[in-house]
Amino acid sequence: MGNRQFRTLFHRSDSNPILTAQAWPYPANSVFNAGAALVDRQTLLLVRVEDRRGISHLTVARSADGVGGWVIDPHPTFTPSPDTHPEEVWGIEDPRLTWLDERQCWAVAYTAYSPAGPLVSLACTKDFRTFTRLGPVMPPEDKDAALFPIRFDDRWAMLHRPVATAASTGVHIWVSFSPDLKHWGDHHVLIPSRLGGWWDARKIGLSAPPLETPDGWLILYHGVRRTAGGCLYRLGLALLDRDDPRRVLRRSDEWVFGPTEPYELNGDVPGVVFPCGWIRDGDEIRLYYGAADSCVGLATAKLSELLEFVKTSPAA
Ligand code: BMA
């Protein structure tokens, strides 16, 4: 008899959900889909906060151990600026954070919700107090973007997820390049969504930013399964070539993390786990994810186990 269990790579924190709207210092409908960074040896989450209008902004929460004792900014930290950036009139959402050593700043790739649809915007910050906008970098509809921390042959690279409305086989993760973070081109489909009954059929998108490892760039992405009971958001892994992020080396067939707990199955959007950030601490990975578009959960994994799993996944 073989092993009758699927392998568990990610382990939920006993403290879940670690951040909720009830614990927020000001009125919030929901707090979810947080970007993550290690800043001054503290874990910093840039949390998406949705108000009762339905408009989102981003607020910083800090913790010494990344699990509890969160100190949350008493007011919204990074807010939409529709007067100067009309594309943000319906809010800013789902930030992914990347440290750019060359510029000595954190890049924030976020979704600006414009009347023409969601699009990708970039901003930079050194202190998570003031943010300098680079403005919109991808037209609608496009979201789920993150920068790589380094240049490849002198060019910055970004993963993102455009949506083509014409008869298409689904929406895929793309990679694009830029000399200056402002002008983007040389667009390639990188990870296509699958078809039919697959867990990641027709709609996928990047989750946390690409993580550099000796084996290549570890990619965590979400796949959306449409069911009669609604959509299920689950996570899979892929590995990109370290020197050429246009090359997918491996891609997991099976999803590795999905909604099972009450706080993931009940909320504004049931059946969703949606990470926007992870933090590496030695061999430990701490994954921060939005649960049911309502609260923030934490799951941990061993990087060595994730790599072992993805390296034994099919060649892409
Ligand atoms: C996606 C994004 C996320 C959200 C998810 C589930 O399209 O809009 O912000 O968490 O849907 O509702």
Q: Quote the tokens at residue 222.
A: 């979400």
Residue 12 maps to a domain: no
Ligand 1 centre to CA of 243 (Å) is 31
**Which of 8, 206, 13, 3 minimizes the C-alpha distance to 111?**
206
Residue 131 maps to a domain: yes
Q: Are 210 and 146 in contact (CB under 8 A)?
A: yes
- Name the percent of the chain lying above pLDDT 70: 99
SS3 category, 46 = strand
Given a cut of 90, is residue 53 above it in pLDDT?
yes
pLDDT value of residue 181: 98
Q: Which domain holds residue 59?
A: 17-311
pLDDT value of residue 166: 67
pLDDT value of residue 144: 98
Global pTM?
0.97
pLDDT value of residue 164: 80
- Name the percent of the chain lying above pLDDT 90: 96
Residue 245 maps to a domain: yes
Site to substitute for ligand 1 among 269, 288, 296, most atoms within 8 A of C-beta = 269
What is the mean predicted confidence (pLDDT) over 150-173?
91
Q: Is 106 in the pocket of ligand 1 (CB under 6 A)?
A: no
Over the stretch 200-223, which tens digit does the pLDDT of each residue have? 998 999 999 999 999 999 999 999
Which 8-state DSSP code applies to residue 109?
A: E
Q: Is 94 in the pocket of ligand 1 (CB under 6 A)?
A: yes
Integer Cα distance of 17 and 222 in angstroms: 20
pLDDT value of residue 316: 86
Ligand 1 nearest atom to the CA of residue 269, by list position? 12
> Model confidence at 105, in pLDDT bands (50, 70, 90)?
very high
Angle 121-109-231 from CA coordinates, rounded to 5°: 95
Separation of first and last alpha carbons in the chain: 30
Residue 7 maps to a domain: no
Count of structural domains within the chain: 1
pLDDT value of residue 155: 98
Given a cut of 80, is residue 185 above it in pLDDT?
yes
Residue 230 maps to a domain: yes
Q: Quote the tokens at residue 311.
A: 């390296």
Average pLDDT, the chain: 97
Residue 6 maps to a domain: no
What is the mean predicted confidence (pLDDT) over 8-12?
98
The CATH number given to whatever domain includes residue 250 is 2.115.10.20
Residue 254 maps to a domain: yes
Given a cut of 90, is residue 266 above it in pLDDT?
yes
Q: Is 163 in the pocket of ligand 1 (CB under 6 A)?
A: no
Q: Which residues contact 251 (CB under 8 A, 6 or more apart)?
A: 191, 236, 237, 238, 239, 313, 314, 316
Q: Quote the tokens at residue 236.
A: 């899979």
Given a cut of 90, is residue 28 above it in pLDDT?
yes
Site to substitute for ligand 1 among 94, 96, 294, most atoms within 8 A of C-beta = 94
Given a cut of 70, is residue 115 above it in pLDDT?
yes
pLDDT value of residue 3: 74
What is the mean predicted confidence (pLDDT) over 158-187?
92
Ligand 1 nearest atom to the CA of residue 94, by list position? 9
Residue 295 maps to a domain: yes
Beta carbons within 10 angstroms of residue 9's beta carbon = 21
